Amino acid sequence: MRFRVFPAVDILNGRAVRLYRGMRERATDYGDPPVEVAERFASVTGTLHIIDLDGAFTGSPKNMAVVKRIVDRTGAYVQVGGGFRRMEAIEEAYSTGVRSVILGTAAQDLDFVREVVRLFPDTAVSLDSRGGGLMATNGWTRVSGRHVSSGYSAMKGW
């Protein structure tokens, strides 16, 4: 494994944004289309961390056409998250040339994660926390009863 920097491009309603503490209503729109933002970042790092916020909030990816354009235009190593809770969505993401899909809410289902990782070893898991270390899910709108450390402990030997 080697050290990499992944500049983030968060997409909401087709725009590059940043959320304040994960709150959709507190989004800052950066004014530039996500593909242009991604091209600037990728020209420096060759890597991108893209979050489909619409997908995170709704439970299924909504901006894969934009992600595909980013992959095609930048040639970067792209990891993408946001709404990947079904195998079909994960397969679609990898078919676009994305190099790593990030599972967040889906990490609650350890059997599902194990199967995804078996099929796609470059899958990543994001254990977001809120409320004293409890796992945040559904685009940070909910908190599970599971602590981040127990989620990590359950997966660390894979």
C-alpha closest to that of 22 among 144, 148, 137: 137
Q: Which of 49, 84, 66 is nearest to 13 (CA)?
A: 66
- Which range marks the domain in which residue 47 is found? 8-126
CA 143/CA 86 separation, integer angstroms: 20
Domain CATH number, residue 97: 3.20.20.70
pLDDT in tens, 84-142: 999 999 999 999 999 999 999 898 889 999 999 999 999 999 887 777 776 666 766 66
Task: Tell whether 23 is covered by a domain.
Answer: yes
Q: Which residues are the active-site residues?
A: 10, 128
Tell me the per-residue pLDDT of 26-73, one tens digit each, with 9 for 90 and over. Answer: 888 888 899 999 999 999 999 999 999 999 999 999 999 999 999 999
- For residue 100, what pLDDT is reported? 98
Domain count, the chain: 1
Residue 85 belongs to a domain: yes
Question: What is the distance of C-alpha 140 from the center of its chain?
Answer: 12
Q: The pTM is what?
A: 0.88
- Segments in 29-147 forming alpha helices (H): 34-45, 53-58, 64-74, 87-95, 110-119
